[in-house]
Amino acid sequence: MTSAYSISVYLDLRRAKASGKFPVKLRVYDSVTQKQKMYSTQFEFIEKEFKSIWKTTKPRSEYRQIRLKLQAMENRANEVASKLNPFSFDQFEKRLYRKKGDGVNLKYNYEQKIHALRSHDRIGTASNYELSQKSLIKFSSTIKNQDYGQLTFYDITPDWLSDYEYFMVNTTNKSLTTVSMYLRALRTLFNDAIAENEIERTHYPFGKRKYQVPASRGVKKALSTDQLKILYNSTPDTQEQQRAKDFWFFSYACNGINTKDIAQLRNRDIDGDKIYFYRAKTLKTSKANLKPIVVYLNDFSLNVIEKYKKQSSNSNDFVFSIISEGDTPEQQHKKIKNFNRFLGQHLKKLCVANDLPKEISPYWARHSFATTSIRKGASMELLQESLGHGNIKTTQNYFAGFDNSTKKDFANQIMDFD
């Protein structure tokens, strides 16, 4: 089969360098796109030298070593290109300029992934990969006595992963949820490496009859109807508790909108008694068939907007003073994280004072909205659309089940045949 690319060593005669010599470049041509690119090298010659070194079949002895170096450079470029299916300049450049062995090196792949995520402003996901890598460094050095910098995909076996899980749970007292989160990051790197033909699928350590990433389901984090009533009617002791309560119920009333999406709401997203917004998470991960989430505002949510809204008529301004337009992605991430922590801290104090679960967090509002909606008769499909989920199984995981009073009413009604 004819290759989709051609690679040659080329003397660029368009402009001489200060030395009077011309630069040698790798010329790469893609026959599919009919485009070519030139890549700089360390070599430079006058035209006569280049002909004596490269254009002859038998170079003189003083040129043989240089010719061998040029051949090695051309051979490496061809080796890199031959592993690309289909050929692309982006992948070619990525592989050409890295050190040999980097393609299967764990540290290199983590750092490339983290860099890519940060360059696309996915700061939270990049942070998760950093924590995942940090845990692997600790495990490989303290338990396996391995140099993490030399660790490759081939070193990661099902047994290695089982040992890592045991270490995380029993030595560092991390939860299975944390283990799952960190290993899903590693699993993604494996999948990327396989997709880019860096490793064969036979070396994949995850899956049936191999190592299975923990898929533990934690306790459903939703307040019951009675608990919601108590919290809603509670009297905060401080302004901070009032602010935390207001934003928690704003999240609850607005389809369980999370803190980041609240922070990123702009004036243009509000249209009378409705909010239209795209989940920040969905914009980064699922761009196919994007649909805005539509939230109908009730009196409570309208009052929260009126109470905390910035004094600005600019349609592009943020609604609330949580983040600022001039913030970098890192600064926005930090401010949202701090705001989330603020809500959690003061909400816990309010809940403790009212005999409600002290484990409550801002995220409980989302689960509480989902569970209450189902208990009040909303279909799973409607809830899926309201939450902005692409998969209904994700929506089902938000449901905390029916409370005892609902089950008791059902039991009493089951024999009612009228």
111 and 89, same domain (yes or no) = no
Same domain, 195 and 79: no
- Confirm whether 415 is domain-assigned: no
Neighbours of 357 (CB within 10 A): 17
Do 243 and 144 share a structural domain?
no
219 band by pLDDT with thresholds 50, 70 and 90: low
Q: What is the pLDDT of residue 2?
A: 60
Residue 269, phi then psi, degrees to nearest 5: -80, -15
Taking a C-beta distance cutoff of 8 angstroms, is the pair 185, 191 a contact? no
For the chain, how many structural domains are there in total?
3
pLDDT over 60 (residue 416): no
In-domain check, residue 52? yes
- In this structure, are 180 and 260 located in the same domain? no
The pLDDT confidence band at residue 339, using thresholds 50, 70 and 90, is very high
Domain assignment present for residue 216? The answer is no
Q: Which of 97, 103, 111 is nearest to 83 (CA)?
A: 103
Give the domain CATH number at 317.
1.10.443.10
Cα-Cα-Cα-Cα torsion 118, 124, 125, 127, nearest 10 degrees, comes to: 80
Poorest-pLDDT segment among 107-116, 180-189, 397-406: 397-406
Question: Are residues 56 and 112 located together in one domain of the fold?
Answer: no
**For 369, phi and psi rounded to 5 degrees?**
-60, -45
262 falls within a domain: yes
Paired residues of 276 in beta bridges: 294
The residue among 171, 203, 235 that closes a domain is 203
Task: Please state the length of the chain.
Answer: 418
- Same domain for 249 and 373: yes
Residue 385 domain-assigned (yes or no): yes
pLDDT of 391 strictly over 80: no
Which range among 25-29, 54-58, 342-346, 370-374 shows the weakest confidence by mean pLDDT? 370-374
Task: Answer with the one of 96, 112, 130 that is the final residue of a domain.
Answer: 96
Q: Is 292 helix (H, G, I), strand (E, B) or coil?
A: coil
Residue 311 lies in a domain: yes
Question: Do residues 107 and 89 both lie within one domain?
Answer: no
Helix (H, G, I), strand (E, B) or coil at 75: helix
> Residue 213 falls within a domain, yes or no?
no
232 and 347 co-located in one domain: yes
Are both 258 and 396 inside the same structural domain? yes
Q: Is residue 302 part of a domain?
A: yes
Q: What is the 8-class DSSP label of residue 223?
A: -
One domain, residues 358 and 245: yes
Burial of 179 from C-beta contacts in 10 A (0-12 / 13-18 / 19+)? buried
Q: Does the structure show a pLDDT above 50 at 415?
A: no
Boundaries of domain holding 162: 102-203
Out of 61-70, 72-81, 275-284, 304-313, pick the least confident. Answer: 275-284
Model confidence pLDDT, tens digit, residues 128-144: 999 999 999 999 999 99
Query: What pLDDT is attached to residue 85?
Result: 82
Tell me the percentage of the chain whose pLDDT exceeds 70.
Answer: 86
* Least trusted range by pLDDT, from 15-24, 81-90, 237-246, 374-383: 374-383
CA-wise closest residue to 399 among 226, 265, 258, 219: 219
> Is it the case that residue 289 has pLDDT exceeding 70?
no
Q: Give the CA radius of gyration of the chain.
A: 29
- Better-scored residue on pLDDT, 42 or 406: 42
**Tens of pLDDT along 64-91?**
999 999 999 999 999 989 988 889 898 8
Section 212-220 average pLDDT = 71
Which pLDDT score, from 0 to 100, does residue 417 have? 42
Q: How confident is the model at residue 400 (pLDDT cuts 50, 70, 90)?
A: very low
Confidence grade of residue 156 (pLDDT, cut at 50, 70, 90):
very high
Taking the C-alpha atoms of residue 292 and residue 276, their distance in angstroms, rounded to an integer, is: 6
Q: Are residues 341 and 285 in the same domain?
A: yes
pLDDT at 213 over 90: yes
In this structure, the number of other CB atoms found within 10 A of the CB of residue 225 comes to: 15
In terms of domains, do 115 and 181 share one?
Answer: yes
Domain limit, last residue, from 142, 172, 203? 203
pTM summary value: 0.69
* Mean confidence (pLDDT) of the chain: 88
pLDDT at position 84 is 86
